[in-house]
Chains A and B, each alone.
Chain A
Amino acid sequence: MDPIISVKKIVKVYPNGVAANKGVSIDIEPNTIHAIVGENGAGKTTLMKILFGIEEAQEGKIFIRGKEVHFKSPLEAIKMGIGMVHQHLMLAEGLTVYENLMLGIEPTMFGIFLNKKRAFEIADAYSKKFGLDVPLNKKVKDLSVGIKQRVEILKALLRNIEIIILDEPTSLLTPQETEVLFKTLFSLRDSGKTIIFISHKLKEVKAIADKVTIMRKGKVVKTVDAENISEHEIARLMVGREITFEHIPKNENVGNVIFEVKNLSYKNDENVEVLKNISFSIRSGEILAIAGVEGNGQAELVEILTGLKKATSGNVLLDGRSILGLSPREIREKKISHIPEDRMKNGVADKAKIKENLISDRYYKEGFSKGQKLNWNYINRESYRLIKKFNILVPSVEAPASALSGGNIQKIVVARELSASPRVIIADQPIRGIDVGSEELVHNFFEEARDNGSAILLISADLDEILKLATRIIVIYNGEIVGRFNNVNNITAQDLGPYMLGIKREV
């Protein structure tokens, strides 16, 4: 059978000099679910952007149904039947669902006015046809992530898309929501659609894909039938070496409780109780993981613990003394470090120099400055020392942080936060969107910090990460702690899932 999409020797170099695709060739068969895996920087997102018309390749050809194409915009890709559901959902939050659905293909009256009734009818018809139930009149900002994603898929189907590209679609879903998504994808495939699926989650790839393409460093390593390859083999091809799926060794030297959260509650500006009576404690030398789908209060919890937001009630104690309401600087002075979830927003200033990023928490301390004057010699030496210790690939410490790949930027953040000799580390989604190699390094650093006596609070939506690192696990749902697992020996993702979705809870 002829491939529905044929990519031949695509080359793409970005203006900053990064060569993202160096001669990529892939064939996608019709009516299949084709997974594309690879580290960050492997070039898969770039390839998809080219396929969808967001970026243009310098060299190479793309054939859709045997016809050569060269997309200059998403509109052209959509016309050829290609649609994309992005990892970060592409919806206008202030508009309603049906407004988002009809955006760009608005039905009109007399050619100039919106035909709102017609738009509604069309949306309703497609929704019923594909069994994707969505509240047409609600504003998008009032919807849950799972529903928003459904709107995204419906949006693509409304435009008579034959080929759907999904970029990390399950990164914001619970295991149960993921299963629903998979069912949807299977049925779409069976009804004649072709699905391309980018993922880091090898288990899911094995579960759902018909074919797998592994990419590495801008090139295709291999394209195989999914049933003929194991997860281990995929990982090896992605990275070039063995990855272990084990738990890190236990720490025998767990100490006393040093960090306590007591009855912490938070009501936001819209009077929604985002956090309800949260209590937990962490001992020195242990990693406490909070499992939960994003949007259940984790972000607000982290902001409160790190001084970026004020709690409504409750307390946070370090060595028994309250640190609630302290400023970010005061909290850092108490040796509490924070690896933020949004590294580009909080973790770095991408236009500032790497060395300037590395010292942002300590520039006023002894050695780094004397009086008002900064000691650049000392800063430069320290920066190089950190680069070396944390294995970060940089052209020089004078280069702007934006010159680095996502994984290396995260290593900058980790380097800064862990080198502050923290007693407590609050790590929020620390490995999201970074390559497997960097991921392992970051986890090694956490293990090292833990063994040196740090108490680590790990907040993650990645259950593999949690199962690998956690000493204990608590599950958060809707702002409450719904499950506590002190013995993590035989726990699996399926055990945690129901708690994460609020189906199960401890009394």
Chain B
Amino acid sequence: MEKFILKYFNLIRTIIAILIGVAISIFIIFFVSKNALGSLKYFFLGPFLSKSRLGNIFESATPILFCGIAAAIPFQASQFNIGQEGAFFLSAAIGTGFALSVSSIKLPGFIYVILTLLAAGIVGALWSFIPGFLKAKWKVNIIVSSLMSNYIAYFIGLYIINYHFRDKSAGFLTSYRLPESDWLKQFIPGTRVHIGVLIAIACAFIVYYFLYYTKLGYEIRMVGFNFHFAKYSGIDVFKVIVLSSIIGGFFAGIGGMSEVMGIHRRFLWQISPGYGWDGIVVAIIGKNNPLLIIFVSLFLAYLRTGGQVLNLLSDVPYEIVSVIESVIILLITAEAFLENIKYRITVKEAERKEIIDESSS
């Protein structure tokens, strides 16, 4: 029994953290809602109660997963580039502009999709290059620079859409509608689940393979573990720091464009949608492992969807989800959380082993 606990300790601890977060939200709901039990039902069961709600889980998970992968790559290199939000937004804006601009050129249908996604990815990569390069070259604090770059990207993106691609016939501030050739097909009727989710999952697998089975992935991880060691061993730390940001940004860019092409079919964000921050959250909880991040993204999307149902049908605001998320993150990153229990079990095991050793000698 003890051995089982020790081996899967981290997993068990993660689950307990999630349960505590959920428990706190239940507590808050009881405190705040006039119909607590109803609210709880909407929150936890709501996502399962209809096909479109279930679809919402996968729809919301898609951009979160993209941003989670995007964050995981520089995080694995111990570079806290938190610029996914800005890369996501700017790439979507420029990608939209690109798609609208090339729509006049005659090309086979699916090429548009590939080109636009690639264009957005490249924008994300180039944009994320900046904090990565500044860090590598001049040791600029990457947290601050990437944070600032989020704001700059937001304003540039807004400017591009509002001043150059604005659809004046629409009743609100938004871009022109994307031509159908640029849409990611929604393939489950009754929902808005689009091909982007498949692309995202594929990317997760690709990045997993990249991190754990390729040379560059190995270099990124070794730099993340100990950059002194990496440099001493001959790894080009400068290159790794820059590339980890660039590659991460690429996926954030694809994520942004996929959301536009799959769900909205136009760029309509006037405030930044926040998927970049979600990505950071799921990357942390998923320990920067793309496969784990898939599950964490789905879980977060489930919480979000529940929060939306809750917001819509009850008197509890959606923001309760942020509260749960923050509690879960805090508990998961708290290494010492439950550490004393693990310690006591470890001591017991060591003593047991000593007894066995002694009795057999």
A residues lining the B interface (CB < 8 Å): 13, 15-17, 19, 22, 58, 306, 308, 327-329, 332, 338, 340, 345-352, 356, 360-361, 363-364, 369, 372-374, 376
How far apart are B336's CB and chain A's nearest CB, in angstroms? 10
Specify which chain B residues have a CB less than 8 angstroms from the CB of A376 in the assembled complex. Answer: 213
Which residue of A has the minimal Cβ distance to B233? Answer: A360
A-B contact pairs, 22 of them (CB 8 A): A15-B342, A15-B343, A16-B346, A17-B346, A306-B232, A308-B232, A328-B231, A329-B235, A329-B236, A338-B232, A340-B232, A348-B229, A349-B222, A350-B225, A350-B226, A351-B226, A356-B218, A360-B222, A360-B229, A360-B235, A363-B218, A372-B214
CA distance A13 to B218 in the complex (A): 34
Residue B315 interfacial (CB < 8 Å): no
From B38-46, B242-250, B347-355, the one touching the partner chain is: B347-355
Please report B residues at the A interface, Cβ cutoff 8 Å.
213-216, 218, 221-222, 225-226, 228-236, 339, 342-343, 346-347, 349-351, 354
- Beyond A13-B347, A373-B214, is A352–B221 a contact (Cβ under 8 Å)? yes
Instruction: Report the minimum CB–CB distance from B275 to chain A (whole Å).
Output: 29
- A17 touching B225, Cβ below 8 Å: no
- Is B213 in contact with A346, judged by CB distance below 8 angstroms? no
Min CB gap B356→A, angstroms: 13
CB-CB under 8 A for A352 and B354, given A306-B232, A328-B234, A372-B214: no
B216 touches A372 (CB 8 A): yes
Given contacts A327-B234, A360-B230, contact A369 B215 (CB under 8 A): yes
Distance of A364 Cα from B230 Cα, bound (Å): 13
Question: For B230, what are the chain A residues with a Cβ–Cβ distance below 8 Å?
Answer: 349, 360
Taking a contact as CB atoms closer than 8 A, the residue among A22, A345, A352, A374 that contacts B222 in the complex is A352
B214 — which chain A residues lie within 8 A by C-beta? 372-374
Determine whether the beta carbon of A349 is less than 8 Å from that of B213.
no
A-chain residues with CB within 8 Å of residue B234 when the two chains form the complex: 327-329, 332, 360-361
Extra A-B contacts (10), CB below 8 Å, given A345-B229, A347-B232, A349-B229: A13-B347, A13-B351, A22-B354, A327-B236, A328-B233, A351-B225, A351-B226, A352-B222, A372-B214, A373-B215
B215-A374 in contact (CB<8A)? yes
The prevalent SS among residues of A at the interface is loop
Instruction: Determine the residue in chain B with the shortest Cβ distance to A375.
Output: B213
CB contacts between A and B, total, < 8 Å: 81
Q: Which of B222, B225, B229, B342 contacts A346 (CB 8 A)?
A: B229
* Residues of chain B lying within 8 A (CB to CB) of residue A308: 231-232
Q: How far is the CB of B71 from chain A (nearest CB, A)?
A: 19
In the assembled complex, which residues on chain A have CB atoms less than 8 Å from the CB atom of B343? 15
Q: CA separation between A328 and B234, bound complex, in Å? A: 5
Measured between C-beta atoms, what is the minimum distance from B181 to chain A in Å? 33
Top 7 A-B pairs ranked by shortest CB distance?
A: A329-B234, A349-B225, A360-B233, A349-B226, A346-B232, A372-B214, A352-B225
Q: Name the distance in Å between A341's Cβ and chain B's nearest Cβ.
A: 11
Chain A residues with Cβ below 8 Å from B342 are 15
Report the nearest B residue to A359, measured CB to CB: B218
Q: Which of B339, B346, B354 has the most CB of A within 10 A?
A: B346
Partner of B226, one of A22, A348, A364, A372: A348
- How many angstroms between the C-alpha atoms of A373 and B215 in the bound complex? 6
In the complex, A95→B234 CA distance in Å?
Answer: 36
Provide the bound-state CA to CA distance between A187 and B64, in Å: 69
User: What chain B residues lie within 8 Å of A328 (beta carbons)?
Assistant: 231-234
CB neighbours of B235 from chain A (8 A): 329, 360
Q: List B contacts of A16 (CB < 8 A).
A: 346
Tell me the bound Cα distance from A405 to B238 in angstroms. Answer: 31
Contact at B233–A356, with CB atoms within 8 Å?
no
Which residue of the partner chain A has the closest CB to B339?
A15
- Cα separation A360 to B257 with both chains bound (whole Å): 37
The answer for the CA separation of A332 and B216 in the assembled complex, in Å, is 19
CB of B3 to closest CB in A, whole Å: 12
- Partner of A58 from the list B231, B236, B347 (CB cut-off 8 Å) is B347
**Separation in Å of the B25 CB from the closest CB of chain A?**
32
Q: Which residues on B sit within 8 Å (CB–CB) of A372?
A: 214-216
Q: How far is the CA of A347 from the CA of B232 in the complex (A)?
A: 8
Nearest B residue to A347 via CB reads: B229
A350 — which chain B residues lie within 8 A by C-beta? Answer: 225-226
By a CB distance below 8 angstroms, the chain A residues around B226 are: 345, 348-352
A348 CA to B225 CA in the complex, in Å?
9
Is the pair A345, B350 in contact by a Cβ cutoff of 8 Å?
Answer: no
Q: In the assembly, what is the distance between CA of A45 and CA of B73, in Å?
A: 39
| Complex Cα spacing A35 to B97, Å | 76
Residue of B with least CB distance to A343: B229
Cα–Cα distance between A164 and B120 once the two chains are bound (Å): 66
| Bound complex: CA A239 to CA B91 (Å) | 64
In the assembly, what is the distance between CA of A115 and CA of B21, in Å?
Answer: 49
Minimal beta-carbon separation of B217 from chain A (angstroms): 8
Which single residue of chain B is at the shortest CB-CB distance from A333? B234
CB pair B350–A13 under 8 Å, yes or no, is yes
List of A residues within 8 angstroms of B222 by Cβ: 349, 352, 356, 360
Q: How far is the CA of A15 from the CA of B349 in the complex (A)?
A: 11
Given the complex, which residues of B lie within 8 Å of A332, measured CB to CB? Answer: 233-234
Complex Cα–Cα for A308 and B339 (A) = 39
- Give the residues in chain B near A351, CB-CB below 8 Å: 225-226
User: In whole angstroms, what is the CA distance A363 to B216 when docked?
Assistant: 10
Q: Which residue of B lies closest to A346 (CB)?
A: B232
Q: Which residues of B contact A360 (CB under 8 A)?
A: 222, 229-230, 233-235
- The answer to whether A17 touches B232, judged by C-beta atoms less than 8 angstroms apart, is no
User: Which B residues are CB-close (under 8 A) to A348?
Assistant: 226, 229
Q: Which of B231, B232, B354 has most A Cβ within 10 Å?
A: B232
Closest CB of chain A to B190's CB: distance in Å? Answer: 42
- Measured in the bound complex, the distance between the Cα atoms of B212 and A376 in whole Å is 10
Chain A, residue nearest B342 (CB): A15
A19-B354, A328-B234 known; A363+B215 contact, CB < 8 A: yes
Q: How far is the CB of A291 from chain B (nearest CB, A)?
A: 24
- Across-interface contacts of B346 in A (CB, < 8 A): 13, 15-17
Question: How far does the alpha carbon of A374 sit from the alpha carbon of B219 in the complex, in Å?
Answer: 11
Min CB distance A375 to B, Å, is: 9
Interface centre among B214, B233, B347 (most CB of A within 10 A): B233
Residue picked from B214, B218, B221, most chain A C-beta under 10 Å: B218
Question: Which residues of B lie under 8 Å from residue A352 when comparing CB positions?
Answer: 221-222, 225-226
Residues of B within 8 A of A373 (CB): 213-215
The answer for the CA separation of A58 and B348 in the assembled complex, in Å, is 12
> Which of the listed residues B229, B230, B231, B343 has the most CB atoms from chain A within 10 Å of its own CB?
B229
The distance in angstroms between the C-alpha atoms of A308 and B346, with both chains bound, is: 41
Nearest chain A CB to B33 CB, angstrom units: 42
B256 to chain A, nearest CB (A): 27
- Closest B residue to A368 by beta carbon equals B215
Residues from chain A with a CB closer than 8 A to the CB of B233 are 328, 332, 360-361
Closest to B343 in A: A15
Query: Nearest residue in B to A360 (C-beta to C-beta)?
Result: B233
* In contact, A374 and B232 (Cβ under 8 angstroms): no
In the bound complex, what is the Cα–Cα distance between A19 and B228 (angstroms)?
30
Nearest-neighbour CB distance to chain A for B239, whole angstroms, equals 11
- Specify the chain A residue showing the minimal Cβ separation from B217: A374
Instruction: List chain A residues, Cβ under 8 A from B350.
Output: 13, 17, 19
Chain B residues, CB < 8 A from A346: 228-229, 232
| Bound Cα distance from A348 to B230, whole angstroms | 9
